[in-house]
Amino acid sequence: MKTRIAIIGDRFMRVEEYRKAILEACGDVLEFSVHELPWPDEPMEHGYAKAGIEGLKEYQGTAELVVEVARFSRVLVTQLAPLSASVFEALPELELVAVSRGGPVNVDLNAAAANGVTVVNTPGRNSSAVAEFTIGAILAETRLITRGHDALRKGVYRGDLYRSDVIGNELADLTVGVVGYGTVGVLVVGLLKAFGGRILVSDPFASLTPDDAGNPSISLVSLDKLLASSDVVTLHARVTRDTAGMMDASAFAAMKPGAVFVNTARGPLVDYEALTEALRNGPLGGAMLDTFSVEPVPPDSPLLELPNVTLAPHIAGASYRTILTAARGAAREISLWLAGKPPSNVYKAN
Lowest mean pLDDT among 7-16, 23-32, 338-347: 23-32
Adjacent-strand bridge partners of 99: 78, 121
User: 304 with 172, same domain?
Assistant: yes
To the nearest whole percent, how much of the chain has pLDDT over 90? Answer: 90
Is residue 347 in a domain? no
Q: Say if residues 111 and 84 touch (Cβ distance below 8 Å).
A: yes
Q: Is the model's pLDDT at 258 over the cut of 80?
A: yes
Calculate what percentage of the chain has a pLDDT beyond 70: 99
Tell me phi and psi for residue 68, to 5 degrees: -65, -45
CA atoms lying within 13 Å on the CB side of residue 25: 20
Look at 52-56, 107-111, 150-154, 287-291 and tell me which has the smallest mean pLDDT.
52-56
- Short-list 83, 94, 76, CA closest to 55: 83
Secondary structure (3-state) at 34: strand
Backbone angles phi, psi at 343, to 5 degrees: -60, 155
Q: Is residue 350 part of a domain?
A: no
CA angle 220, 223, 224 (to 5 degrees): 120
pLDDT tens for each residue of 63-83? 999 999 999 999 999 999 999
For 264, residues 6+ apart whose C-beta sits below 8 A from its C-beta are 130, 133, 134, 137, 234, 235, 236, 288, 290, 291, 316
Cβ pair 106, 80 in contact under 8 A? yes
* pLDDT in the model for residue 311: 97
In terms of DSSP H, where are the helices of the chain? Answer: 15-26, 63-70, 85-90, 109-114, 127-142, 145-153, 183-192, 210-213, 223-229, 249-253, 272-281, 320-338
Do both 170 and 281 map to the same domain? yes
Residues 70 and 214 in one domain: no
215 pLDDT above the threshold of 70:
yes
Which residue numbers are catalytic?
266, 295, 314
Based on the fold, state whether residues 174 and 294 are members of the same structural domain: yes
| Domain-located, residue 343 | no
Question: Quick one: pLDDT at residue 52?
Answer: 74
Mean pLDDT of the chain: 95
Lowest mean pLDDT among 22-36, 126-140, 200-214: 22-36
Q: How far is the first Cα of the chain from the last one, in angstroms, to the nearest whole number?
A: 36
Q: What is the CATH number of the domain that holds 40?
A: 3.40.50.720
Residue 113 shares a structural domain with residue 254: no
Q: Mark whether 296 and 200 lie in a shared domain.
A: yes
Distance CA 198, CA 225 (A): 14
Angle at 311 between CA 188 and CA 241, to 5 degrees: 60
User: Residue 49: what pLDDT?
Assistant: 61
Decide if 349 is inside a domain: no
Residue 19: inside a domain, yes or no?
Answer: yes
* Stretch (H or E) spanning 235: strand 232-235
Q: Is 346 a domain residue?
A: no
Residue 190 to residues 135, 187, 209, 283, 328, Cα–Cα distance (Å): 11, 5, 11, 28, 25
Residues 157 and 295 in one domain: yes
> For the whole model, what pTM was predicted?
0.91
**Cβ-contact 78, 19 below 8 angstroms:** no
The interaxial angle of helices 320-338 and 127-142, nearest 10 deg, is: 160
- pLDDT band (50, 70, 90) for residue 50: low
**CA atoms within a 13 Å half-sphere pointing along the CA-CB vector of 6:** 25
In this prediction, residue 34 carries a pLDDT of: 97
Residue 305: count of CB within 10 angstroms of its CB: 9
Q: Are residues 165 and 279 in the same domain?
A: yes
For the chain, how long is the longest CA-to-CA vector? 73
Residue 348 lies in a domain: no
One-letter amino acid at 87 equals V
- Are 143 and 260 in the same domain? yes
Domain that includes residue 117, residue range: 3-125+319-338
Q: Is 159 contained in some domain?
A: yes
Q: Is there a single domain that holds both residue 121 and residue 131?
A: no
Residues 264, 145 share a domain: yes
Residue 47 has pLDDT above 80, yes or no: no
Distance CA(329)–CA(125), nearest Å, equals 8
Number of domains observed in the structure of the chain = 2
143 in the same domain as 81: no
